[in-house]
Amino acid sequence: MEHPRSPVLELEKAIAGCAFRIAPERESELAELRDVNNLMLTLVDEPGFNIRVRLVEREIMINVAALEFLWASAHAHLILYNEYGLAQRSGSSTFDTGGTDRSRKAMELLAWAGRNALVNGTDLWPTALPRPERFPAEKSDGHVTNELFLCALAWIIHHEIAHIRLNHQALVTTCSIAEEKDADVAATKWILDKSTVQQESRKRTFGIAAAILALQGLP
């Protein structure tokens, strides 16, 4: 990566390894798949949410703005879920998504990441808002967000790998809904089928949910 300009790239090593780490019981299987197909992950600077696979080259392309949006989205959903629970437990009858400094910043960050992805994808991360760190304090918002983000990204990467595993055709102009669904199912099965620890499966499922929420929330 030539431009380590974004704090999300502090997680670059974890990003590179997340497809393995989400399902360690299938690590050797994935390593074989990677080696047989000569799979590559490439980070690029582009606007939009552009995680995709070049089927012929077997190259998974990930743009930095998409990583930023995915982190901001995982963070916002985590904070809102948590603040909502706090409001409920304190007996509040209404819930304001920007009602605390913590939730207001989370929503501001999500709005920034959405705008950035929409415009040029290279805006600097706002200094006053929460940001990814490589070594956040244990169980802090930053720590939980990193884990959610990495699980979400792993599912998206497994979706792209599934296009290769399932021998999907490199159609440039036609987007096949059936192939997209098949890739979603294959990625989910890869991540959950051989997980034997309930807590682990739950964490992975939260990650998948975070990915879907981010994709649904794209500007």
Binding residues for Zn ion (CB under 5 A):
180, 183
The one-letter amino acid code at 202 reads R
CB 132 within 8 A of CB 73: no
Q: Which is nearer to Zn ion, 44 or 185 (CB)?
A: 185
Residue 183 C-beta: closest distance to Zn ion, Å: 5
Strands 59-63 and 52-54 come out as antiparallel
Report the C-alpha gap between 75 and 7 in whole angstroms: 14
Strand order in the sheet with 59-63: 40-44, 59-63, 52-54
Residue 92 C-beta: closest distance to Zn ion, Å: 41
Q: Which is nearer to Zn ion, 79 or 162 (CB)?
A: 162
Q: Which is nearer to Zn ion, 168 or 203 (CB)?
A: 168
Report the C-alpha gap between 18 and 67 in whole angstroms: 13
CB 43 within 8 A of CB 1: yes
Question: If you count DSSP H runs as helices and E runs as strands, how many of each does the chain have, helices first?
Answer: 7, 3
Q: Which is nearer to Zn ion, 50 or 100 (CB)?
A: 50
Residue 176 C-beta: closest distance to Zn ion, Å: 9
Q: Which is nearer to Zn ion, 106 or 162 (CB)?
A: 162
Residue 164 C-beta: closest distance to Zn ion, Å: 11
Residue 162 C-beta: closest distance to Zn ion, Å: 8
